[in-house]
Amino acid sequence: MAQQVDASRISELKQVVAGALAEAESTGASQADADASLQRGLTATVRLGEIDTLEYHRDRGLSVTLYFGKAKGSASTADLSPTAVRETVLKAAAIARHTTEDPCAGLPDPADLAREIPDLDLHHPWELEPEQAVTLARECEAAGLAVDARLKNSEGATLTTHSGVRVFGNSLGFLAGLASTSHSLSCALLAQDGSDMQRDYWYTVARNPAALEPAQAVGRRAAERALARLDARRLSTRRAPVLFCAELARGLFGHFIGAIRGPSQYRRASFLLDAVGQSVFPPFIDIVERPHIRQGLASSPFDGEGVATRDRDLVRAGVLQGYVLGTYSARKLGLHTTGNAGGIHNLLVSSKESGSFEELLARMGTGLFVTELMGQGVNGVTGDYSRGASGFWVEGGSIAYPVHELTIAGNLRDILSGVVAVGSDVDAKGAIQTGSVLLSELTIAGE
């Protein structure tokens, strides 16, 4: 039944997009594209057993872009009626007529558009009643609070279920729709021992609700993480090896992606400027993009411009193979789109220098295991990196005690080239999938 409903929604949106493109043609636009979506969902948050928030989400939207030669105009609306669609197209046309031409503007080359749309199994609706969502959130929080008497407070447990359909089309004959879902459950708890109070969390997310971690397991994991942080100490300033947990390690690779995105390159604002063909990581590191993983959180058969997504090697034996480009940035650089308008699609990090989390701890010997980062002290132009941090001090290859109120600092170019190993404990809860990352050395500022 859910599949029939979403097929009907896709058909409805295709009519909206086709109507927008027809209106665009009537304005005399040389090219046009339109993107329509319908989103719905439910969010339930429980705190200390009581309902904190219960929200339904219902959103719809249409964005239209018109080109008159190389002049571009865009407009959007949340009203999908024919009258609103026509008014939106006319607004985009008016903007385009007053815009300076850009030689790189325009739709993708027709040969780049996705002509076959593989089924990536992204659509798994979860028809939860509000009472069921509240019950699961309560079970999650209660399981966490029951772990230890020192768990005295909570920031709550939140369950979110989301389903959406999107249709994109352009004047080159491309018209395709996609239905997808995303579901998550999270819990944040506070542990207190005397005057010492510490907070931590855990979460699970998946396209298919059957792939979520059990509610009670999420609550218990949040509890264990919060309890482990009690009696945290401060460190003196030093340089030492640093191990990032898997869920934070993806951020390091996120900074890498930001530096090799097309806009960073053509604006000449990147610490990895003109880095294709250079060794960015050690030779045992490979990074690949796999857009067609079934049920992948960042899977998509086409990018934000309708360009077909394809498997590619981004880093091979530590050497950067190419940039992350949409059509516009590719033209600015004299290159070809990589199908990344709108972002990356399932980046997988692998390493010939690997091991379990415990093996990485043993390999580090003495150093800092980071489990939380704070602040935004990252300069994408220079690569300077400085973040507030907390975690655990490691001695003799084992966790010795929790630490907090630290700052870790270095330069991203050195950080990326200084990777010692990547763990086998891969975290797949995002667009970048990696295990824990062991770095040779960073500056740790403390007392």
What confidence tens digit (pLDDT) does each residue in 246-287 have?
Answer: 999 999 999 999 999 999 999 999 999 999 999 999 999 999
Residue 116 has phi, psi (to 5 degrees) of -120, 130
Question: What sign for the dihedral angle of Cα 350, 352, 355, 357?
Answer: negative
d(CA 131, CA 54): 10
Predicted local confidence at residue 8, as pLDDT: 87
298-345: pLDDT as tens digits: 999 999 999 999 999 999 999 999 999 999 999 999 999 999 999 999
pLDDT, the chain, mean: 96
Predicted local confidence at residue 186, as pLDDT: 98
**Tokens at residue 178, please?**
């996609």
- For 413-430, what is the mean pLDDT? 96
Predicted local confidence at residue 215, as pLDDT: 98
Tell me the domain boundaries of the chain.
Answer: 2-228, 238-445
How many Cβ atoms sit within 10 Å of the Cβ of residue 376? 9
Question: Do the beta carbons of residue 295 and residue 406 sit within 8 Å?
Answer: no
Residue 2 pLDDT greater than 70, yes or no: no
Residue 74: closest CA among 56, 54, 91? 91
Q: What is residue 62's three-state secondary structure?
A: strand
CA angle 236, 237, 241 (to 5 degrees): 105
Angle between helices 82-97 and 2-26 (to 10 degrees): 40
d(CA 369, CA 401): 10
Q: How confident is the model at residue 447 (pLDDT cuts 50, 70, 90)?
A: confident
Q: Where are the alpha helices (DSSP H) in 229-310?
A: 246-260, 262-266
Q: How confident is the model at residue 4 (pLDDT cuts 50, 70, 90)?
A: low
Predicted local confidence at residue 102, as pLDDT: 97
Residue 239 pLDDT greater than 90, yes or no: yes
Q: How confident is the model at residue 151 (pLDDT cuts 50, 70, 90)?
A: very high
Q: Which positions ≥6 away from 8 have C-beta within 8 Å?
A: none
Residue 213: closest CA among 225, 226, 204, 221? 204
Residue 424 pLDDT greater than 90, yes or no: yes
**Tokens at residue 163, please?**
């389903």
- For 397-409, what is the mean pLDDT? 96
The separation between the first and the last C-alpha atoms of the chain, rounded to the nearest angstrom, is 61
Query: Which 8-state DSSP code applies to residue 277?
Result: T
Predicted local confidence at residue 136, as pLDDT: 98
Burial 295-309 (b: 16+ CB within 10 A, else e): bbbbbbbbbbbbbbb
User: Which residues, in sequence order, are bridge partners of residue 200?
Assistant: 189
Predicted local confidence at residue 427, as pLDDT: 95
Q: What is residue 275's three-state secondary structure?
A: coil
Question: Do the beta carbons of residue 360 and residue 394 sit within 8 Å?
Answer: no
Residue 392: closest CA among 418, 425, 366? 366
How many Cβ atoms sit within 10 Å of the Cβ of residue 375? 10
Q: Which positions ≥6 away from 303 have C-beta within 8 Å?
A: 309, 326, 339, 340, 341, 342, 345
User: Which residues, in sequence order, are bridge partners of residue 151?
Assistant: 191
Predicted local confidence at residue 6, as pLDDT: 73
Predicted local confidence at residue 267, as pLDDT: 97
362-391: pLDDT as tens digits: 999 999 999 999 988 899 999 999 999 999
pTM: 0.94
Q: Where are the alpha helices (DSSP H) in 98-214?
A: 130-145
Q: What is residue 46's three-state secondary structure?
A: strand
Residue 31 has phi, psi (to 5 degrees) of -150, 160
Question: Do the beta carbons of residue 266 and residue 334 sit within 8 Å?
Answer: no
d(CA 131, CA 38): 24
98-139: pLDDT as tens digits: 999 999 999 999 999 999 999 999 999 999 999 999 999 999
Residue 1 pLDDT greater than 60, yes or no: no
Give the long-range contacts of residues 124-129, CB within 8 A, separation 24 or more: 124/181, 124/183, 124/207, 124/208, 124/209, 124/210, 124/295, 125/2, 125/6, 125/163, 125/181, 126/161, 126/163, 126/181, 126/183, 126/209, 127/2, 128/42, 128/159, 128/161
Q: Which positions ≥6 away from 39 have C-beta within 8 Å?
A: 57, 58, 59, 60, 162, 163, 164
d(CA 399, CA 191): 19
d(CA 328, CA 341): 9
57-84: pLDDT as tens digits: 999 999 999 999 999 999 999 999 999 9
Predicted local confidence at residue 5, as pLDDT: 58
Predicted local confidence at residue 26, as pLDDT: 97
What is the homologous superfamily of the domain 2-228 according to CATH? PmbA/TldD superfamily (3.30.2290.10)
d(CA 107, CA 328): 9
How far from 435 is each of 11, 380, 438, CA to CA, in Å?
A: 41, 23, 10
Question: Do the beta carbons of residue 253 and residue 283 sit within 8 Å?
Answer: no
Predicted local confidence at residue 7, as pLDDT: 81
Q: What is residue 133's three-state secondary structure?
A: helix
d(CA 273, CA 416): 15
